[in-house]
Structure 1
């Protein structure tokens, strides 16, 4: 961990309540501004009582999940196992992360019924095209040790997207994938996909956080009933997010952490978020966002933080 990341972690912990509450203590679910922006949010009886959103094909997806970007090997396996043990049911991975095998081992280690999990992976650019996409998907299933995926995404709109989507539609029709979607598609790329897709994507997983709120994509995805999902919901601490005075004041008001305020903000926008951490205390902390509600003043203050530009130019 570099010095900047260490600083981010230290400042995040500054607002962490002494004696982290177990995520399952969020017993007030459903009482605090349940979003209905992209679909019907449904209460589930999962270990952490994380609400689900109903996707445009009827499949239910947890509103809060666990991301694995940057986690490898034993650290990844333990982090995913910890996440499942405290109540996460949505687990997000990708071929290019190089950790599908570790994620699969963690799922097996958890001993949980496969049907209780919502597992997402992604097709990388190298596997674009009809035949390659089918092979890439089978490799992903093998590495994960699963018989099906809950959600499979085209990771980036590169190469033969049309061929990839056709392959994914066939895998979906065959029951190998419960839902198919996209990641990092802009408005024009989404429009192009919709022009030939026989199956509408259920999700677009994109960069969105307080400093890049993606208003245009937000409205467009709502219009097409495609669920918006945030990768890097904390912007990986960039632009000083974990020391931002606006978030610090809101966090203090609710006796919450800056991380929790950020995740609550995503939730109240109706956006699925997949925070990542290798620290169990933070994994638990990130679940405890359902017993408070940001008010209009809070939302307005956060809206003013929007820089309307990516914080990850190297990924553009």
Structure 2
């Protein structure tokens, strides 16, 4: 699996499993199935209410995966307690990537960012980042602490493609991670169908491969083993520059 460097000594797989909505025994089976298929990035969050299920799947699989979880903005001021609860639920000694799930009301959440940096420095997390942040909100964190988020997890898809936004985060040293990569683009778009037909693969694989071509991490959510397998197979799909440009043109 291709990886991307997000911090010194921290490499993140570029295709992972989103777990929002995966609960109970079915959710645990979905995560365990993904791990068995070869997924090594699992994305969860305190707000998802399924860290226990993710942890159970990790333990039963015996796999050391890259685990992401997130701090709810309403938990600002309780960062150490929330992190401790996530560590217990997931059954791990440290989190690979801890994100602020949404900007904290009234600002970028500088105190939470400072608390997360402290947790990283204590060795409780390997890297810290944000989700759903704009470049200006990222700049507020940098101005306050001198440190940029390792990752910004945002909605991303061909329909949302913005070269200027990707460039803005890249210039700040922030890796973009795209969530809901398949839900936000019409999968019957002619450009996508043409590329998929040329390679003999599902359109979903083309969309995920396009993310990777732009160095954007993709975390599609699926509990279906065949779809999980297909999504992971996108790592081996190489798109030509012309194909990438045709998909880019879908954007606004």
What is the Cα-based RMSD across aligned positions, in Å?
Answer: 1.4
Q: Deviations over 1:142-191 (max 9, x none)?
A: 22122210000000011471111111111101100000011110011011
Q: Could you tell me how far 1:198 is from its partner in structure 2?
A: 4.5
CA distance in 2, matches of 1:268, 1:109: 33
Higher relative contact order (CA 8 A, sep 6+): 1
Q: Deviations over 1:96-136 (max 9, x none)?
A: 11111111111111122x3xx1100000011013xx11111
What's 2:17 paired with?
66
Q: Could you tell me how far 1:217 is from its partner in structure 2?
A: 2.2
Q: How does 1:1-316 map to 2 (within 5 A)?
A: 50-112=1-63, 114=64, 117-129=65-77, 132-159=78-105, 161-234=109-182, 236=183, 238=184, 241-307=186-252
The structure whose Rg is larger is 1
- Bigger drift between 289-298 and 170-179 goes to 289-298
Higher strand share: 2
Q: Deviations over 1:7-49 (max 9, x none)?
A: xxxxxxxxxxxxxxxxxxxxxxxxxxxxxxxxxxxxxxxxxxx
Give the structure-2-normalised TM-score: 0.95
Moved over 6 A (4+): none
CA distance in 2, matches of 1:74, 1:127: 27
Q: Could you tell me how far 1:203 is from its partner in structure 2?
A: 0.5
CA distance in 2, matches of 1:138, 1:215: 38
What's 1:10 paired with?
none
Give the structure-1-normalised TM-score: 0.76
The answer to whether the 8 Å contact 1:57/1:202 transfers is no
Q: Could you tell me how far 1:258 is from its partner in structure 2?
A: 0.4
How many aligned residue pairs are there? 250
